[in-house]
Each structure stands twice: as structure tokens, then as C-alpha cells.
Structure 1
Amino acid sequence: MKYSYVTLMLLLLLGPNCYSQAKLEREHRIQKSQFPSINMDHLPMENTKNIRYYREIDTSKITYTLKFRKGKMHYHLDYNEKGTLQNTGFIVKEIDIPTDTYAQIRSVLNANFEKIKIKYIQQRYLGSSENVLKNTFQNLMLPSNTYKVMFRGKKVDQREDYFAIFNAEGYLIKTTTALPANYDRVLY
């Protein structure tokens, strides 16, 4: 009887911690038929390679992403469920970002983390702005640009992947923890 009381107390104390739920946010590759219908006439799709369709499921919304490579640039176009353009962008290197902006981004990251390793940087344009596709494919530097940085950061002997969004001047807008890759296909 004495052990059942101790066991019951352990289950009550540890139970809520074991069943906590993380925010589900995953990106899965889908077929073209599952992608919402969009107007492809405005997209300069000549000389494009590796066209892929993705669906990102979040707890609050569903986002569809069209990714492709044109020349040496890797572009992405994000749409909502109705096929309305939300934002666009492409992957850049640190040399492509203005020096002052990149210095500000590095200083913010170094102030919040012991060590950082940047995995990639995206230069993004809001889908609601006028001529968003033209601005994206011409690589224009606008004051409404944002930079999405995926990096691995270390805080007190704990390494995790993070997403950080910075404005055009390099000031932090938002930081979120990235979920690990989905390895459901791996069999042990």
C-alpha cells in the first residue's frame, strides 16, 4: 500500500510534463494537384528548375509554398488556402545584405546566444505590396524588406534551431524555436 501511494504521487507530479504538446508546425511536400489554383501568368517561369510544392501546417493557419530555382537563385512564393499571395523571397548570402544591416543582425544574435551558426538567410517581400513579383525577381532593396534567418543557437549548454525575422535595418521583429526535421520515414 505504501508503494502505491508513492507511485500515484509520482504519476500525478510527472504526468502533466510528459503529455505537454508543442506547437505543430511542419512543412510537407505535396503534389501540384493539392496546391491551390493560382494565376501563373504573372510569374516569369521560363528557365526555372526544380519546381516543388509544399504545404506548411501551423496551429493557426495553413500556408502553401511554391519553391523553384531560376538561374542561381532559390525563390519561394507563399500562398494562403485561397491562392492569395502572402509573401515572396529568395535565399541570400551574408555578402548580399547591406553591411550595416548584417552587422546589426549579428550583434542581436550574439547578444542573445553564446554561439550561433547561420544555416540560411531569406530576403522576403510582403505579398500585399504593389509589384511584389517584379521587386522579388529584380532583387530590389526596399525599406519594407524583411530577413528571415534560420540558425542554430546555444544557450546554457542547450543547442536548438531558431527562426528570427529582422526588418530592413536589422532590428529583431520576432524569434521562434524551429521544430526538428520530421523523420517518420526512417525505420529502426
Structure 2
Amino acid sequence: MKYSYITLMLLLMLGLKSFSQTKLEREHRIKKSQFPIINMDNLPLENTRYIKYYREVDTSKITYTLKFKKGKMHYHLDYNEKGILQNTGFRVKEVDIPTDAYASIRSVLNANFKKIKIKYIQQRYPGSSENVLKNTFQNLILPSNTYKLMLRGKKIDKKEDYIAIFDAEGNLIKTTMALPANYDRVLY
């Protein structure tokens, strides 16, 4: 009788652990009419190309992203459901990041992964700061910047996609596993 209670408690704890979920996050393209109403007057959208609208559904929130190309830079502006700016940013390469910050980013990645392939890097600005659009389009390096890396990493035997976010000094803020691309449109 004594062992049946212990066995029952062990099975209950294992059962609860097996129903846990990972954070589901998926981004898909939407029409302009489905995008929230935002103030386009203060956006410098002259000489822009490829304006696209996206909706990212997460388990905790919904984010709307406006992506466009201005010059040779790929910009993104993230908004919440009410049209309030959350953060901004653009794609960068390794040479655009300060050398000491990139060295610490690389050392953290090498410590956590056996093999790494970086797909892209975004330099991001928090939307709560003043003059966030001005700072974004002037490509300023500020202490409030963050770097978002989309990478394919190999930990033990399996390669998987990860999203890693670092601060301006190269310290790791968080790492999450990215979902694979949605191939619902492919028919076999």
C-alpha cells in the first residue's frame, strides 16, 4: 500500500510534465487592410520598396510587423494590436556590430552550441525610447540596442533553429527555439 501511493504520485508528476507546451510563434503575411491603423505621417517612407505587412501570433500576444527596404537596408517596425510602436530595427552583418560586443556574442554561442550557422542578425531599438524612428533610420549604436540572431545550431546530435537576443554589450538576454517554416501549402 505504501508503494502504491509513491507510484501514483510519480505517475501524476510525470503526466503533468508531459503536457507542457513550448512557446508557439508563427509569422505570416497579411493584407494592408488587416494591419492596425498607425500614424504614417512620421514614418520616412519616401524611396522605400517592397512594403509588406505581417502578423506574428504568439501564445501571449499578437505583433504586427511592417517590413520594407530603404536603400540597401531591410527595416522592420513592430506594432501591437492597438497600433502602438513596440520596437524597430534593421538587418545588419557581423562587421556592423562593434568588435568587442560581437566577440562576446560569438563566445556565448560557441559555449552553447557545437556548430553554428547564423541566418540573419537584426539590430533592434526599443519602441519606448524617444526619437526611436530617428535613431533607427540614422543607424545609431546606443546602449539600449539589442541584437536578434536567427541561427541554426547543433547541440548534441540534432540541428535546430534558434532565436537568440543579446544586449548592446553582447550579453545573452534569452534564447528560444524557433519553429520551422509553415509548409501547409505543400501537397504531397
Is TM-score (shorter-chain normalized) higher than 0.5? yes
How do residues 48-67 of structure 1 correspond to structure 2 at under 5 angstroms?
Answer: 48-67=48-67
Q: Does 2:121 match 1:125?
A: no
Secondary structure at the aligned position of 1:176 is classed as strand
How do residues 136-155 of structure 1 correspond to structure 2 at under 5 angstroms?
Answer: 136-155=136-155
Q: Aligned AA for 2:77?
A: L
Secondary structure at the aligned position of 2:185 is classed as coil
* 1:101 match: 101
* 2:11 match: none
Secondary structure at the aligned position of 2:45 is classed as coil
How many residues in Structure 1 have an aligned counterpart in Structure 2?
A: 174
Distance in 2 (alpha carbons) for counterparts of 1:22 and 1:29? 23
* 1:33 match: 33
Report the CA distance between 1:138 and its aligned residue.
0.1
Report the CA distance between 1:139 and its aligned residue.
0.1
Q: Aligned AA for 2:38?
A: I
Distance in 1 (alpha carbons) for counterparts of 2:139 and 2:110? 28
Distance in 1 (alpha carbons) for counterparts of 2:20 and 2:172? 29
* 1:156 match: 156
Identical aligned residues as a percent? 82
Report the CA distance between 1:24 and its aligned residue.
1.9
Report the CA distance between 1:26 and its aligned residue.
0.2
Distance in 1 (alpha carbons) for counterparts of 2:133 and 2:182? 31
* 2:166 match: 166
Distance in 2 (alpha carbons) for counterparts of 1:150 and 1:75? 16
Distance in 2 (alpha carbons) for counterparts of 1:166 and 1:18? 31
Distance in 2 (alpha carbons) for counterparts of 1:109 and 1:155? 11
Unaligned runs of 5+ in 1: 1-14
How large is the RMSD of aligned CA atoms in angstroms? Answer: 1.6
Secondary structure at the aligned position of 1:29 is classed as strand
Secondary structure at the aligned position of 2:41 is classed as helix
Distance in 2 (alpha carbons) for counterparts of 1:50 and 1:17? 45
* 2:73 match: 73
Q: Aligned AA for 1:59?
A: T
Q: Does 2:157 match 1:175?
A: no
Secondary structure at the aligned position of 1:41 is classed as coil
Cα deviations across residues 35-57 of structure 1 (Å, max 9, x unaligned)?
00000000000000000000000
Distance in 2 (alpha carbons) for counterparts of 1:78 and 1:23? 19
Distance in 1 (alpha carbons) for counterparts of 2:70 and 2:103? 29
Q: Aligned AA for 1:77?
A: L
Normalised by the length of structure 2, the TM-score is 0.89
Distance in 2 (alpha carbons) for counterparts of 1:91 and 1:24? 24
